[in-house]
Amino acid sequence: MTNSIAQAGEALAGFIERHPKLWVLTGAGVSTDSGIPDYRDADGQWKRPPPVQHGDFMASLAVRQRYWARALIGFKALREAQVSGAHRALAALEAMGYVELLVTQNVDRLHQRAGSRKVIDLHGRADMVGCMSCGYQLMRHAMHSEMASMNPHFAALDAGHAPDGDADLETDFSMFKILDCPRCKGILKPQVVYYGDVVPSARRLAAQVGLENADAVLAVGTSLMVYSGYRFCRDAHAMGLPVASLSLGVTRADALLTHQWRAPLTPVLEQAVSCLQRRLLD
Ligand SMILES: [Zn+2]
């Protein structure tokens, strides 16, 4: 273990002891150790084309054909991803009583699989699909197996995995057949808040209530470039709460941060958990 990781872990443990009602905000960095790629580099810039926009998805059949054809390949990686040490360490912090609420910008449900219970999926969940007209819901894997049998040629293709269950496939998508809502023939869409859409207000309010009951914010593995996450750091700062960040790169909230550790997430979180466990035993 390098000094910097040990020191960051110690410092983070001290921060958590002083602020034991954490409002934790997580982003893509928490899931990259699970093999799920992210969109941005250490400077917070796009390192690949930005994801689909909500308005384009709803307006264009061609966009939806491309989306679902690529997802047929890419979603397997999301489904098969395993929880990382970072997910487990955050679940351990909750079990030790240090987490008031964990708000994640990830849609992979890996926090829940690691054992975290107080979780808000701010941007929704990729494993469910909903009808944009009647609200009918179905599991994503059921829709995928249906579409795989409707499109055997596409189902047999392979391509590199991309963030959010996407794949780097470029071909003619115009023949791809999409499953429509079995109840009303409406447009089916993953229950994920796309770029250009807004977080449902009830969910945003639940996250806000958690913030009001917390005594500090800890952002983990997020560049905070997306406004829906950044706004909570800005609100916390306005409320006088300390805002700390553990991530590899810069964040949009750097100017607001009271503590910042630019270090690999999993070893620092694991180090912090073991420090806290040792102190509990002392
Ligand atoms: Zn419907």
Q: Give all domains of the chain, ordered by start, each with its CATH number.
A: 3-281 (3.40.50.1220)
pLDDT cut 70: percent of the chain above it: 98
Is residue 203 over pLDDT 70? Answer: yes
- Numbered residues of the known binding site for Zn(2+): 131, 134, 181, 184
Is residue 190 over pLDDT 80? Answer: yes
Distance 178 CA to ligand 1 centre (A): 14
Distance 119 CA to ligand 1 centre (A): 28
Tokens of 276: 């806290």
Distance 108 CA to ligand 1 centre (A): 24
Respond yes or no: is residue 161 known to be catalytic.
no
CA distance 257 to 233: 9
Exactly one of 111, 123, 144, 161 is catalytic; which is it? 123
* pLDDT tens by residue, 99-121: 999 999 999 999 999 999 999 99
Q: What is the mean pLDDT of residues 9-34?
A: 95
- Average pLDDT over the chain reads 92
Q: How many Cβ atoms are within 10 Å of 162's Cβ, its own excluded?
A: 21
Q: Are 32 and 38 in contact (CB under 8 A)?
A: yes
Res 29: pLDDT: 92
CA distance 124 to 220: 18
Q: Are 155 and 143 in contact (CB under 8 A)?
A: no
- Global pTM reads 0.93
CA distance 43 to 91: 28
CA distance 3 to 135: 52
CA distance 82 to 27: 16
- The H or E element containing residue 275 is helix 265-281
Q: Are 242 and 268 in contact (CB under 8 A)?
A: no
- Numbered residues of the known binding site: 131, 134, 181, 184
Q: Are 44 and 35 in contact (CB under 8 A)?
A: no
Strands 22-26 and 216-220: parallel
Residues around ion ligand 1, judged by CB within 5 A, are 131, 133-134, 136, 181, 183-184, 186
pLDDT category of residue 55 using cuts at 50, 70 and 90: very high
CA distance 134 to 156: 32
Tokens of 76: 């397997």
Distance 155 CA to ligand 1 centre (A): 25
Distance 190 CA to ligand 1 centre (A): 13
Lowest mean per-residue pLDDT among 79-88, 202-211, 220-229, 256-265: 220-229
